[in-house]
Amino acid sequence: MPERGNADQRFLLLYGSQKGLAQSLSQDIQEQAEQRGLYAERHCLSRTSRAFELAHERAPVVIVVSTTGDGEPPDTATKFVRSIQRKGLPPNHFCHLRYTLLALGDSNYTNFCNCGRTIDQHLAKLGGHRFYPTGHCDDAVGVEEIAEPWIEGLWEVLKKELGGRQWTQANENTMTTGRDPVVRSEGCIGMVKESEFTVTNTDAVSNMSSTCHIKGGGKTAPVLMEADKTLEAFIERSVRPDKAAVGTCEALEPSPSQKPKDAASFSQGEEHGSMSSGDDKLITVLSMSCRNLSITSSSETKSHSSPANSQPPSAWTRPAPHLSNVALNVPSLPASFLEIDIQRNTHFDDFRVESMVDLLPKASSSIHWIPVVSAKRLTQLDAIKTTMELWLDVSKTSLNLSPGDSVGLICPNNSEEVSYLLQRLELEAVADCLLTVHLTNANTRKGVQIPVHILSQCSLRMLFTHILEIRAVPKKAFLRSLAEHAEDPTERHRLLELCSRQGAADYLQHIRKSLVCLADLLHSFPTLCPPVALLLEHLPCLQARSYSISSSPLQHHGHVRILFNIVEFPTSVYRASPRRGVCTGWLTELVGLYVRGDVTLTSSMDDATAVASKVPQVPLYARPSTSFHLPEDRSRPVIMVGPGTGLAPFLGFLQHRKWQQDEEAEPAGEMWLFYGCRHCKQDYLYRDELEAHMASGVLTRLLVAFSRDNVHPSGAAAGRPTRYVQDNLRIYSKDVVRMLLQQRGYFYICGEARNMAPSVHETLVEIVVQEQSGTKLEAMRTLATMKKEGRYLQDIWT
Ligand code: FAD
| Segment 751-773, tens digit of pLDDT | 998 889 989 999 999 999 999 99
Could you tell me the pLDDT band of residue 250, with boundaries at 50, 70 and 90? very low
- What residues contact 267, with CB distance under 8 A and at least 6 apart? 643, 676, 707, 724, 725, 726, 752, 755, 756, 759, 760
Report the pLDDT value the prediction gives residue 167, as an integer from 0 to 100. Answer: 37
- Asked if 41 and 12 touch (Cβ cutoff 8 Å), the reply is yes
Which of 584, 618, 627, 756 gets mutated to test ligand 1 (max ligand atoms within 8 A of its CB)?
584
Task: Delineate the domains of the chain, giving CATH numbers in brackets.
Answer: 10-268 (3.40.50.360), 638-797 (3.40.50.80)
Q: Is the CB of 387 under 6 A from ligand 1?
A: no
CA 285/CA 307 separation, integer angstroms: 29
Q: 750 - beta bridge partners?
A: 795
Could you tell me the pLDDT band of residue 257, with boundaries at 50, 70 and 90? very low
495-502: average pLDDT: 93
Which range has the worst mean pLDDT, 3-7, 409-413, 736-740?
Answer: 3-7
- Asked if 402 and 617 touch (Cβ cutoff 8 Å), the reply is no
pLDDT tens string 500-543? 989 989 998 999 999 999 999 999 999 999 999 999 999 989 99
Q: Is the CB of 648 under 6 A from ligand 1?
A: yes
CA 656/CA 652 separation, integer angstroms: 6
- What residues contact 250, with CB distance under 8 A and at least 6 apart? 221, 222, 243, 244
Q: Whose CA is nearest to atom 6 of ligand 1?
A: 581
pLDDT tens string 227-246? 333 333 323 333 333 333 33
Host H or E run for residue 131: none
Mean pLDDT, the chain, whole residue set: 78
Report the pLDDT value the prediction gives residue 444, as an integer from 0 to 100. Answer: 64
CA 254/CA 260 separation, integer angstroms: 9
Q: Is the CB of 472 under 6 A from ligand 1?
A: no
Q: Is the CB of 567 under 6 A from ligand 1?
A: yes
Distances (CA, A) of 577 to 54, 275, 309, 386, 738: 53, 16, 12, 19, 52
Measured in Å, residue 552 CA sits from the centre of ligand 1 at 23
Of 372 and 292, more confident: 372
Measured in Å, residue 308 CA sits from the centre of ligand 1 at 29
Of 370 and 352, more confident: 370
| Whether residue 286 has pLDDT greater than 60 | no
Q: Is 66 left (phi over 0), alpha (psi -120 to 50) or beta?
A: beta
CA 587/CA 410 separation, integer angstroms: 11
Report the pLDDT value the prediction gives residue 123, as an integer from 0 to 100. Answer: 96
Q: Is the CB of 109 under 6 A from ligand 1?
A: no
Nearest-5° Cα angle at 437, 51 to 25: 45
Measured in Å, residue 472 CA sits from the centre of ligand 1 at 13
- Helix, strand, coil percentages (3-state) for the chain, rounded to 5, are 35, 20, 45
595-606: average pLDDT: 46
Which range has the worst mean pLDDT, 325-329, 392-396, 506-510?
Answer: 325-329
Which range has the worst mean pLDDT, 310-319, 489-498, 576-585?
Answer: 310-319
| Whether residue 488 has pLDDT greater than 50 | yes
Measured in Å, residue 217 CA sits from the centre of ligand 1 at 30
Could you tell me the pLDDT band of residue 200, with boundaries at 50, 70 and 90? very low
Q: Is the CB of 386 under 6 A from ligand 1?
A: no
Measured in Å, residue 577 CA sits from the centre of ligand 1 at 20
Measured N-to-C along each axis, helices 756-772 and 776-788 cross at an angle, to the nearest 10 degrees, of 120
Report the pLDDT value the prediction gives residue 182, as an integer from 0 to 100. Answer: 23
Q: Which of 83-92, 253-262, 367-376, 408-417 has the highest mean pLDDT?
A: 408-417
Q: Is 298 helix (H, G, I), strand (E, B) or coil?
A: helix
Q: Is the CB of 414 under 6 A from ligand 1?
A: no
Of 69 and 586, more confident: 586
| Whether residue 348 has pLDDT greater than 80 | yes
Q: Is the CB of 565 under 6 A from ligand 1?
A: yes
pLDDT tens string 157-167? 998 899 844 43
CA 705/CA 714 separation, integer angstroms: 9
Burial label for 90, CB within 10 Å (0-12, 13-18, 19+), is exposed
User: Which candidate, 675, 774, 768, 769, places its Cα nearest to that of 267?
Assistant: 675
- What residues contact 146, with CB distance under 8 A and at least 6 apart? 135, 136, 137, 138, 221, 223, 248
Measured in Å, residue 631 CA sits from the centre of ligand 1 at 27
Q: Sign of dihedral through CA atoms 501, 505, 510, 512?
A: positive
Q: Whose CA is nearest to atom 45 of ligand 1?
A: 545
| Whether residue 436 has pLDDT greater than 60 | yes
Q: Whose CA is nearest to atom 29 of ligand 1?
A: 547
Measured in Å, residue 22 CA sits from the centre of ligand 1 at 22
Could you tell me the pLDDT band of residue 362, with boundaries at 50, 70 and 90? low
Of 461 and 721, more confident: 461
- Asked if 146 and 137 touch (Cβ cutoff 8 Å), the reply is yes
638-664: average pLDDT: 96
User: Which candidate, 283, 293, 346, 358, places its Cα nearest to that of 313?
Assistant: 283
Q: Whose CA is nearest to atom 30 of ligand 1?
A: 547
Task: Give exposure, 31-51, as e/b (b: 16+ Cβ within 10 Å).
Answer: bbbbbbbbbbbbbbbbebeee
Q: Is the CB of 122 under 6 A from ligand 1?
A: no
Phi, psi (rounded to 5 degrees) for 54: -60, -30
Could you tell me the pLDDT band of residue 170, with boundaries at 50, 70 and 90? very low
Q: Is the CB of 582 under 6 A from ligand 1?
A: yes
Total-model pTM = 0.74
Question: Which atom of ligand 1 lies at the shortest distance from residue 409's CA?
Answer: 43
Q: Is the CB of 564 under 6 A from ligand 1?
A: yes
pLDDT tens string 377-390? 999 999 999 999 99
Nearest-5° Cα angle at 687, 685 to 689: 105
Which of 385, 466, 567 gets mutated to test ligand 1 (max ligand atoms within 8 A of its CB)?
567
Q: Whose CA is nearest to atom 5 of ligand 1?
A: 581
User: Which candidate, 423, 401, 794, places its Cα nearest to that of 620?
Assistant: 401
CB-side exposure of 613: number of CA atoms within 13 Å? 1
Q: Is the CB of 9 under 6 A from ligand 1?
A: no
pLDDT tens string 628-650? 999 999 999 999 999 999 999 99
CA 634/CA 664 separation, integer angstroms: 12
Report the pLDDT value the prediction gives residue 194, as an integer from 0 to 100. Answer: 25
- What residues contact 26, with CB distance under 8 A and at least 6 apart? 13, 14, 15, 17, 42, 64
Question: Which atom of ligand 1 lies at the shortest distance from residue 586's CA?
Answer: 52
Residue % of the chain over a pLDDT of 90: 54
